[in-house]
Chains A and B, each alone.
Chain A
Amino acid sequence: MAAFYVGWIRNTGDGNFGPAVSEYVLWETPEAEAATGHNINITLLARVIEGEAGGEPFIGKVAVGAVILNRIRDARFPNTLSGVVFQPLAFESVANGRIWEPVSQESYRAARLALAGWDPTHNALYFWNPAKRVSRWIWTRTIFTQIGKHVFGR
């Protein structure tokens, strides 16, 4: 009963899975999950979703999760979840500590859906709020879609 996507899972040798095009790069063994009492990948993804899109509609939350996962699969970004989330200057909620605030159930659900492969952004690598002050460079990206207050592009 195998699950395949466009690519395969590959062990990079440091305990993380990647670089792969597979959407299952973030699975943990049941033993690991039992030891920590939660799935660390789902929890971390849910934290960023909450921090970056806490006030956004549900689809907008899934979309932010999808962007993070798209980055893991892209050569230009770190190829692990923690690498992408904690990349310096990448996410505002990491810089201001908001990702350590309590996480809603909705963000957990959005994280799971993004991990299961739902991508409302159509493979975007960036998202930003056009109403806020953002770097001029970001507007050179092709915008794929807008969801809630965020636009998503590559």
Chain B
Amino acid sequence: MSKRLILPAFVGLLVVAAVWAWGLEQSRARASLQNMLNAQYQNAFYSTLTRINNLDALLGKETVASGEQRAILLADIWQEAIQAQASLTQLPVRDVVLSQTAKFLAQVGDYAHSLMHDLARGKQISAQEQDKLREMRRQMATLNKELQEMEREINKNGAGYWEIADQFRSRPAARKPHTPAPGEETFNAINREIEQMPTLIYDGPFSDHLERQKPLALKGKKMISEAEARSRALKLIDGQDGVNYQARVTGSTLGRLPSYRVVIKGRGQGPDKSITVDISKHGGEPVWMLLARSVGSPKLNVDEGRARAKAYLAKIGKPNMVATYWERNDNTVTYNFAGKENGVIIYPDLIKVTVALDNGQVVGMEAAGYLMQHHERDIAQPRLSEAEARKQVAPALNPGNGRLAIIPTDGGGEVLTYEFRGRSDGAEYLVYINANDGNTEKILQLQDTKNGTLVM
């Protein structure tokens, strides 16, 4: 080798060595990150497996238990099911693939919780409910078996089991069509079995009947035209004097409350002052309205804002509403209103109104809850008097005067109660006593803050 080449060759070797060392370090770092991530996934998987194994056994015990043991087992089932669902949804499997299993677990927990409630108030578990529990147990055993088989695979293949297809590469060209990971295959098989689970209807938030809930307030109402929607939307806005507003239907929406989407602009005003309104196709009722303008420094206080909100509701044809809770966000306040009939507060009939404190303009309203729940109610005379109901409230609370209130139940139903407010150990509480049987339906804790009253 000529002397001229010695130096470049040496430098070249150095570069190769440096690149090699760098590459080695990179691959080590990558392997270490991969192991850390896989450990998380394994943890989620084994936690799911353990909980489902427990649920399998607990549901079995529940079907042969009696007396107070039943309630204790139901409480365990509730807890295990919630934790199982939480672990399951941490697996690196697409949500759609997990959704059947996740829903099944959530419903098992929710169902156990609702039966627990029944037992606590002296109601017995019916033969039909017993059958449901048995069916759940059967499904849980299948799920358990499938997951045990999955575990065998994981035990064989180790950490690499949870290999995720590169869905989220930044360069679109590098994206590969989705190839299902091994975990996904197993869950697809599980889904095919669990899909045969019969519909589950009970008094809980995950009951199947809530999925198909129809807006009670719009029952039997006629479909309105686009032109009608425009004129209704124009009546709904709290416009400024002297501004010529124009409404345009920009689209329509599906879902529980099929609506026309109307955008309203004042002539000569910028797009930041445009107002969006959804008007239900049936009955032409407002679903929500929003004007997303910036709000300047406040000239009104919270009480003055509430008066504006109340006047607005009267103007749009909802005069019988009472203000309940409020929440302040920067320079706007959102007031919650509940219905009122014959002196009874109706909390499910909920409408929210947002007032800008700079000039008192109503910049938002939301009535989806009202449209879903409002209907003609035949409020029967309560069996208990206020004084009788008060005896059911813990004496430590030293409750004030109670008032009649209809409150929603977990499963979308309603119950007539007496609402009592009281204080204990420096905290304020609302207690709801069933006006017919004296059971405590709900206890809420109130927290006063500068931005409103929180209900916990």
Contacts and interface: CB of A to CB of B under 8 A. Distances in A.
B164 interface: yes
A122 B444 contact: no
Most buried by B among A20, A27, A113, A154: A113
Nearest to B345: A2
Contacts of B350: 3-5
B375 interface: no
Contact of A77 (B102, B408, B442): B102
Contacts of A118: 288, 290, 364, 366
Given A79-B106, A87-B90, A1 B324 contact: yes
A116 B452 CA distance: 12
Interface in B393-414: 407-410, 412
Contacts of A29: 447, 454, 456
B2 interface: no
B447 A30 contact: yes
Interface stretch (B6-14, B26-34, B62-70, B247-255): B247-255
Nearest to B287: A122
A5 B408 contact: yes
Contacts of A113: 290, 329, 364
Interface stretch (B50-58, B166-174, B310-318, B382-390): B166-174
Most buried by B among A77, A88, A109, A122: A88
Contacts of B368: 117, 119
Interface in A102-150: 109, 112-113, 116-124, 133, 135, 137, 142-146
A40 interface: no
A40 B56 CA distance: 36
Contacts of B453: 1
Contact of A79 (B41, B86, B251): B86
B256 A8 contact: no
A76 B102 contact: yes
A35 interface: no
Interface in B162-183: 164, 167-168, 170, 172, 175, 178
Given A123-B256, A154-B255, A76 B95 contact: yes
B172 A144 contact: no
Nearest to B364: A118
A13 B205 CA distance: 17
Interface string A77-103: 111100100011110100110000000
Contact of B449 (A2, A30, A143): A30
Interface residues of A, number: 58
B103 interface: yes
Given A24-B455, A27-B454, A3 B206 contact: no
Interface in B2-56: 41
Contact of B86 (A8, A78, A112): A78
A118 B365 CA distance: 8
A87 B95 contact: yes
Contacts of B430: 2
A116 B107 contact: no
A29 to B, nearest CB: 6
Interface string A32-71: 0000000000000000000000000011001000000000
Interface string B307-334: 0000000000000000011110110001
A90 B95 contact: yes
B94 interface: yes
B254 A142 contact: yes
Contacts of B292: 58-59, 109
Given A59-B276, A76-B102, A146-B251, A88 B366 contact: no
A94 to B, nearest CB: 9
A83 to B, nearest CB: 6
A133 B175 contact: yes
B246 to A, nearest CB: 18
Contact of B95 (A1, A3, A89, A112): A89
Nearest to B258: A122
A3 B102 contact: no
A124 to B, nearest CB: 7
B251 A145 contact: yes
A50 to B, nearest CB: 16
B201 interface: no
Given A6-B369, A78-B85, A116 B334 contact: yes
B265 interface: no
Interface in B110-143: 110
Contact of A2 (B178, B252, B329, B455): B455
Contacts of B257: 122
B91 A88 contact: yes
A21 B453 CA distance: 20
Nearest to A138: B96
Interface in B72-100: 79, 82, 85-86, 89-96, 98-100
Interface of A: 1-10, 12-13, 19-21, 24, 27, 29-30, 58-59, 62, 73, 75-80, 83, 87-90, 92, 95-96, 109, 112-113, 116-124, 133, 135, 137, 142-146, 154
Given A76-B95, A88-B92, A89-B168, 7 more contacts: A2-B324, A27-B456, A58-B292, A76-B103, A113-B364, A119-B368, A154-B255
